[in-house]
């Protein structure tokens, strides 16, 4: 009797282990397939970008390894799409927006988290309504407002409209609530002003959330397409010529030349900064427990 039970147990344990291994193998195979599907287009782009301009692809053949290798296309795209200019504009746009919005987000987040003032509830609620309304509804209106301020043909036109980043405010606010009040009170007694408190106490204590915010905002701004496109297509000013718009000009819809090799080279080039960011700051990007808890 006892023996039978133990034999059965051993059997189930063995079969469980087999099941476990089976499960692991199937999952890994599945995940690998998904990962390959995601990587493959970029690999094909890279191969495409290194074909020499007079290379004629055979019909019915997918090139997955370099053939007629050359880096010429990269130089061509840098020249013809004025990528130096676009890189400068993109960097100014991204860094400017990230820095300004970070300042705003820190101050407003701090005030909402740590100062009990009358009207706080109303202010929070009003700000939260922004998250409900898609910014695209306001596209035409925001365009008109930038004209009103005379910044529609200026890099300020793509930086300034969005710097009160409500998502960021509530992200930071939630984190700052965990900064102990006693520290801030101690600073109060020492006669520390509010701005000084933010800079010397709150900022060092919320480095992780600042990093998360900066990285998310940086990548989001780098990839921003709609509003810069609106301003650029209406004003044509060079100071709005971001990398995304430089690439947009290669699409046949927008009168670009149809050389796919050069276009591929450009796409690879504008994706590289994002990939570098990702490799360096992976830890912060993949740790999104802060964001998941927001709503």
Partner 1 sequence: MQNESIEAQRLAAEGAEVSEELVKVPLAPGSAGKPKKKPFRQRFKKEILAYSLIGIPLVWWCVFFVVALVWAFCTSFTDMRGGYGFDFVNNISFDNYINIFTAGSAQAEAFWNGMKVTVIWTVVMMIGNNFMGILCAFLIKAIKRGGKVFLALLFWPSLVSAVVGADITSTLFQSDNTGVVNQIIIACGGSPVAWFEDPNTAIWALMVIPFFFGFCQKMLIYYSTLVSIPDTYEEAASLETSSRVRIFIRVIFPLMKNALVLNTLLSIIDGFKVLGPMQLVTDGGPANSTQSAMLLIYKSVFNAPARIGQGCAYAFVLFIFILIVSIIQKVIAGKEESNIE
Contact positions with partner 1 (CB under 8 A) in 132-171: 132-145, 147-148, 160-164, 166
**Separation in Å, CA 4 to CA 9, 12, 28, 254, 270:** 9, 12, 36, 77, 66
- DSSP code of residue 88: H
Segment 243-252 long-range contacts (CB within 8 Å, at least 24 positions apart):
243/83, 243/86, 243/87, 243/89, 243/90, 243/270, 244/90, 244/270, 245/86, 246/81, 246/82, 246/83, 246/86, 246/270, 247/81, 249/81, 250/81
- 3-class DSSP state for residue 71? coil
Q: Does 71 bind partner 1 (CB under 8 A)?
A: no
Among 9, 11, 18, 23, binds partner 1 (CB under 8 A): 23
Q: Does 188 bind partner 1 (CB under 8 A)?
A: yes
Q: Does 177 bind partner 1 (CB under 8 A)?
A: no
Among 30, 66, 69, 84, binds partner 1 (CB under 8 A): 30
Ramachandran angles phi, psi of 54, nearest 5°: -95, 15
Count of residues that bind partner 1 according to CB under 8 A: 98
Site for partner 1 in 84-103 (CB under 8 A): none
Query: Per DSSP, what are the bridge partners of residue 51?
Result: 69
Nearest of 43, 78, 81 to residue 63 by alpha carbon: 43
Q: Does 107 bind partner 1 (CB under 8 A)?
A: yes
Report in angstroms how near the CB of residue 176 gets to partner 1 at its nearest: 13
Query: Which residue stretch of 67-75, 91-99, 186-194, 206-214 sits at the interface with partner 1 (rule: CB under 8 A)?
Result: 186-194
Q: Does 2 bind partner 1 (CB under 8 A)?
A: no
Q: Tell me whether residue 23 or residue 69 sits nearer to partner 1 (CB atom).
A: 23
Q: Does 288 bind partner 1 (CB under 8 A)?
A: yes
Q: Does 244 bind partner 1 (CB under 8 A)?
A: yes
């Amino acid at each position: 009797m006892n023996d039978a039970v133990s034999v059965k147990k051993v059997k189930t344990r063995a079969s469980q282990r087999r099941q476990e291994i089976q499960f692991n193998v199937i999952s890994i195979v599945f995940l690998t397939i998904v990962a390959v599907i995601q990587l493959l287009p970029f690999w094909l782009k890279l191969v495409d970008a290194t074909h020499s301009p007079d290379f004629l692809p055979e019909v019915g053949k997918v090139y997955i390894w370099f053939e007629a290798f050359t880096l010429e296309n990269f130089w061509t795209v840098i020249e013809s799409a004025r990528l130096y200019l676009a890189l400068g504009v993109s960097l100014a746009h991204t860094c400017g927006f990230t820095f300004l919005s970070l300042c705003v987000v820190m101050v407003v987040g701090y005030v909402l988290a740590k100062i009990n003032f009358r009207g706080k509830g109303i202010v929070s609620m009003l700000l939260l309504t922004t998250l409900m309304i898609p910014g695209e509804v306001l596209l035409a209106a925001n365009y008109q407002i930038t004209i009103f301020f005379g910044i529609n043909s200026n890099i300020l036109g793509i930086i300034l409209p969005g710097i009160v980043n409500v998502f960021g405010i509530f992200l930071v606010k939630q984190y700052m609530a965990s900064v102990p009040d006693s520290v801030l009170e101690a600073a109060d007694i020492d006669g520390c002003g509010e701005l000084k408190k933010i800079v010397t106490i709150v900022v060092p204590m919320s480095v992780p959330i600042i990093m998360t915010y900066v990285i998310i905002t940086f990548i989001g701004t780098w990839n921003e397409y709609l509003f810069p496109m609106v301003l650029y297509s209406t004003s044509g000013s060079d100071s709005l010529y971001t990398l995304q718009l430089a690439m947009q000009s290669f699409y046949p819809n927008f009168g670009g030349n149809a050389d796919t090799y050069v276009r591929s080279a450009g796409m690879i080039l504008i994706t590289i900064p994002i990939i570098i960011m990702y490799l360096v700051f992976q830890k912060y990007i993949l740790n999104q427990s802060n964001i998941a808890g927001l709503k």
